[in-house]
């Protein structure tokens, strides 16, 4: 199968030192909450919430800037989405269970989102940042590739579940294919797959194979460019253009807007929270939020998602390949 090929790829030359970190309450990020961040000067806040806005003026006209602004919720919507990521007595956010095989995966009906990507791309760090309002939830990150060995399920109240996956490529677990491919192919409550690409190294062969797999399975998926703090501006722009070109030329199921994030600087995290709230059917955007029209073909499995009452239309994608309107309620 496709991912078998990824596992055997050896594109990493430098192996970082083994350091495992368990994030605890002490590790809470000072920008965990959008409310806190909203105290910042407008321009800084804009760059934090919409990281693309800082890069926009440097991109050539060849790149579709509209695609980066397809999902552009209002600050009010972002704040409403944040409530979903804030725990309360009635809305518990916690680690749920782990599985190494599909028959060990919990059977649940609530919407689910998962995070896949090469080992060390920053999947667990991103989830830790998304859950930073609940720092007691243990999400393990490590400098050593291949740290996450199991599919780790986290529940966000009754609203949705989120799955942290082992990485593919270097040091992927032996049972990776049976675990992750089977999950992606058969999980019926999976609403979105977030495919992470390291913004400091750009698209690698393993990423292209993973994109091919998402296409083959007809998954609705979204590309997230990670570690944007680590790359120079020039490098990052080059990598973003490459991602954009790939989405445009080689994908049908990928949401046209790549999301840019830095889990350490908290860039793009509030926007991603809002997108997750939206695609899991937990947030209806206010009318002043902007979701632009998108026109392209949708793979067959998308129809199943439409039937699940979380239509693709929610992310600006048309079922018929025709343009759709931006008010979906």
Ligand X SMILES: Nc1nc2c(ncn2[C@@H]2O[C@H](COP(=O)(O)OP(=O)(O)OP(=O)(O)O)[C@@H](O)[C@H]2O)c(=O)[nH]1
Question: Which residues are at the interface with ligand X (CB under 6 A)?
Answer: 117, 119-125, 141-143, 145-148, 166-167, 226-227, 229-230, 262-264
Report if residue 263 touches Mg ion, rule: CB under 5 A. no
Angle at 121 between CA 120 and CA 127, to 5 degrees: 100
Q: Taking CB within 5 to 8 Å according to partner kind, which of ligand X, Mg ion, none is near residue 143?
A: ligand X
Q: What number of CA atoms fall less than 13 Å from residue 93's CA on the CB side?
A: 22
Q: Nearer to ligand X by C-beta: 67 or 120? A: 120
Q: Nearer to Mg ion by C-beta: 172 or 214? A: 172
Report if residue 265 touches Mg ion, rule: CB under 5 A. no
Closest approach, Cβ 67 to ligand X, in A, equals 22
Q: Nearer to ligand X by C-beta: 142 or 246? A: 142
Report if residue 152 touches Mg ion, rule: CB under 5 A. no
Q: Nearer to Mg ion by C-beta: 43 or 143? A: 143
Residues from 68 through 127 that contact Mg ion (CB under 5 A): 123-124
Closest approach, Cβ 164 to Mg ion, in A, equals 6
Q: Taking CB within 5 to 8 Å according to partner kind, which of ligand X, Mg ion, none is near residue 262?
A: ligand X
Using only the alpha carbons of the chain, give its radius of gyration.
18
Cβ neighbors of 189 (< 8 A, separation 6 or more) are 108, 109, 110, 111, 112, 308
- The C-alpha atoms of residue 187 and residue 234 are separated, in whole angstroms, by 39
Q: Nearer to Mg ion by C-beta: 193 or 318? A: 193
Q: Taking CB within 5 to 8 Å according to partner kind, which of ligand X, Mg ion, none is near residue 273?
A: none
CB atoms within 10 A of CB 304: 11
| Bridge partner residues of 267 (DSSP) | 262
Closest approach, Cβ 208 to ligand X, in A, equals 18
In Å, how far are 101, 170, 186 from 183, measured between CA atoms?
A: 8, 20, 5
- The C-alpha atoms of residue 24 and residue 128 are separated, in whole angstroms, by 10
Answer for which of 67, 72, 132, 148 binds Mg ion (CB under 5 A) is 148
Question: Helix, strand or coil for residue 312?
Answer: helix
Q: Where are the alpha helices (DSSP H) in the chain?
A: 2-7, 34-37, 42-49, 52-55, 75-84, 123-130, 176, 182-186, 205-217, 233-250, 269-279, 302-307
Q: Taking CB within 5 to 8 Å according to partner kind, which of Mg ion, ligand X, none is near residue 119?
A: ligand X
Taking alpha carbons only, the member of 79, 50, 305 closest to residue 192 is 305
Q: Taking CB within 5 to 8 Å according to partner kind, which of Mg ion, ligand X, none is near residue 264?
A: ligand X
Q: Taking CB within 5 to 8 Å according to partner kind, which of Mg ion, ligand X, none is near residue 316?
A: none
Residues from 124 through 143 that contact Mg ion (CB under 5 A): 124
Q: Nearer to Mg ion by C-beta: 123 or 187? A: 123
The residue of the chain with the least Cβ separation from ligand X equals 167
- Token digits for 153? 């399920």
Closest approach, Cβ 268 to Mg ion, in A, equals 18
- The C-alpha atoms of residue 139 and residue 146 are separated, in whole angstroms, by 14
Residues that bind Mg ion (CB under 5 A): 123-124, 148
């Amino acid at each position: 199968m496709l991912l078998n090929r990824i596992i055997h790829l050896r594109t990493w030359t430098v192996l970082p030192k083994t350091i495992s970190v368990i994030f605890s309450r002490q590790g809470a990020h000072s920008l965990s909450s959008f409310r806190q961040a909203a105290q910042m000067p407008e321009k800084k806040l804009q760059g934090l919430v919409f990281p693309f806005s800082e890069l926009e003026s440097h991109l050539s006209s060849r790149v579709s800037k509209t695609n980066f602004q397809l999902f552009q919720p209002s600050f009010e919507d972002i704040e409403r989405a944040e409530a979903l990521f804030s725990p309360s007595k009635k809305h518990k956010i916690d680690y749920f269970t782990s599985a190494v095989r599909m028959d060990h995966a919990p059977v649940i009906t609530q919407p689910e989102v998962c995070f896949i990507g090469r080992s060390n791309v920053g999947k667990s760090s991103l989830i830790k940042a998304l859950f930073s309002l609940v720092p007691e939830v243990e999400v393990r990150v490590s400098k050593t590739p291949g740290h996450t060995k199991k599919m780790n399920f986290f529940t966000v109240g009754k609203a949705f579940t989120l799955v942290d996956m082992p990485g593919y490529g270097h040091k992927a677990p032996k049972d990776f294919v049976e675990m992750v491919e089977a999950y992606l192919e058969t999980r019926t409550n999976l609403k979105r797959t977030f495919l992470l690409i390291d913004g400091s190294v750009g698209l690698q062969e393993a990423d292209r194979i993973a994109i091919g797999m998402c296409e083959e399975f007809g998954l609705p998926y979204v590309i997230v460019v990670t570690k944007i703090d680590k790359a120079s501006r020039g490098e990052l722009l080059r990598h973003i253009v490459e991602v954009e070109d790939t989405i445009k030329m080689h994908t049908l199921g990928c949401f046209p807007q790549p999301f840019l994030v830095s889990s350490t600087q908290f860039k793009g995290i509030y926007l991603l929270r809002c997108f997750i709230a939206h695609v899991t059917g937990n947030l209806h955007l206010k009318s002043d939020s902007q979701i632009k029209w998108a026109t392209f073909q949708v793979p067959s499995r998308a129809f199943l998602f439409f039937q699940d009452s979380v239509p693709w239309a929610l992310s600006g994608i048309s079922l018929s390949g025709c343009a759709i309107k931006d008010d979906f309620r």
